[in-house]
Structure 1
Amino acid sequence: MQLNEQDLLDRVQRELTDSYDEELEMELEDREIDPFTKEVVERERSAEAKEERRLYFRELFRLQAELVKLQDWVVHTGHKVVILFEGRDAAGKGGVIKRIVQRLNPRVCRVAALPAPNNRERTQWYFQRYVSHLPAAGEIVLFDRSWYNRAGVERVMGFCSDDQYEEFFQTVPEFERMLARSGIQLIKYWFSISDEEQNARFLGRIHDPLKQWKLSPMDLESRRRWEEYTKAKEVMLERTHIPEAPWWVVQGVDKKKARLNCIHHLLEQMPYEEVAHPEIHLPEREYHDDYVRRPVPAEIIVPEIY
């Protein structure tokens, strides 16, 4: 459904409010952040909106608790996991990645978000720069975009030749089967949004000073080439959906539901169970008569502005 100008402006404001609101999580209770002044404002939410928000956070925290159990199981069993997040710009990949890693140990679960290849990397085997980021036993690696750049942005923007593009499709199924044979579980997600939804999210980023950095010239050009990206995505899904590493499509128009659905599905992909841990006891603090704490020099203390 095409939004009129006023509806679109209202939508942008709600998106900004939700963004700041969620970053502060439940600390703000039912208060909101004004997207322009960045101050806390008191606004009335409908009873339905309040209940939806409570349900969202309740489920998010519950799923994050399960992710902690999954993390413990991965470490305990030495499991190796790679999760790819692909989708159009502003499809919500970064949002779900953030919620997945939010409560986890960064030494166990890490994010690989590789920049464009440098001159040396362009001369390497295409998959070479990704291999160094693969997990060892007891690790989870989340790729915020991946080797599928070749099937998407590189194809649409003309950064690879037709021969390189075809070679990618010949190689990637075997590459992923090699990962599976080596004991790496590969899970691939495509975040799907509508034309209208991407347009609204881009406008939201334009008006949000904390998110303008997310809009690169490449992102803006991708907006113009929507149809070319659609064709490239359809070819990619058709040619790289294999039993060892199938694609899973997340409906991403509603960002909050997409996050919950993706995390819930991710948890179902592994037969994890709660790992027993020894009971933790805080040791008694030792005191020594000859210990005297030295005063901190005033000149190195951070001023207490707040």
Structure 2
Amino acid sequence: MRLLRIWPEHSHFDFMRLRRYSFPLSAFMSVLTVVLLMTIGLNFGIDFRGGTLMELQAKSGHADVAKIRKSSESFGFGDVEVQEFGTAGGVSLRFAIQPGGEAAQSAVVQKARDTFSNEYEFRRVETVGPRVSGELVQSGTIGIILAVIAVLFYLWFRFERELALGAIIGTLHDIVLTIGFFVVTQHEFNMTSIAAILTIVGYSLNETVVVFDRTRELMRRYKTMPTKELLNLSINTTMSRTVMTSATTALSLLALVIFGGRAIESFAQVMLSGVAICTYSAIFISSPMLIYIGLRSSEPAKALEGKVAPAE
């Protein structure tokens, strides 16, 4: 029985030629991410900002957001954010941290229950104090930094210097664009978001290692092959594996986005974007970067065709 070929077995697609478009595109998106991060910023969740978050569901199936906002502002607890979410009739209320400790936060919840409990069902109530939110920010930041440093050290010792630099640049590129996704979509940035970023770092590492392992193998086999042809051959021979891995992961995440519900929807959306970013980065950023880093001298030589089996 003939096996299904996801990617042509002896493909010679010139991926390196597209670097003249992918590099400016990634540079533009990275700069845009930094600008938006400084101007708009992340939409920090209750974990990091502190305060009280309540999610309500209208018993009638229709929520009067304007009325809820007017009633909430009349409580006298400062600014309040009122937003629709999820299915019809879902509303979230976010109150800032109140002076007076836990008693003040409890007063916010009790006031909201007294006002809205007749018409709305309280699905979720969370209260985080300023001290706890500060500790979470610190712990989350340290966790991300340590994880990224550990990954960078692994890449440095896993590959030769040029390959390690290419992999490091690709990993940092993926982190920046993932943060850009949070800024543009204004998804709530909380502890779950940190878990998503760390998972994406791992996926990025996996995608890059697969391509670069094949690159190193071909460097030993074809010692005089020009760098551009070598990198194209590396990507073409691993493309079947890349397509299968990305497609199956994306389909699983798409199912979570559609059917996973409110609790996991945001995480799944971030991960889905991360899969696309990591796959794009491994092919169009990390690998072409080796040309500019100077993987090796590009001596003229003719590539031997049809001698390298596709990656399994």
Q: Structures share a fold, TM > 0.5?
A: no
TM-score by length of 1: 0.23
TM-score by length of 2: 0.23
Give the greater-gyration-radius structure (CA): 2
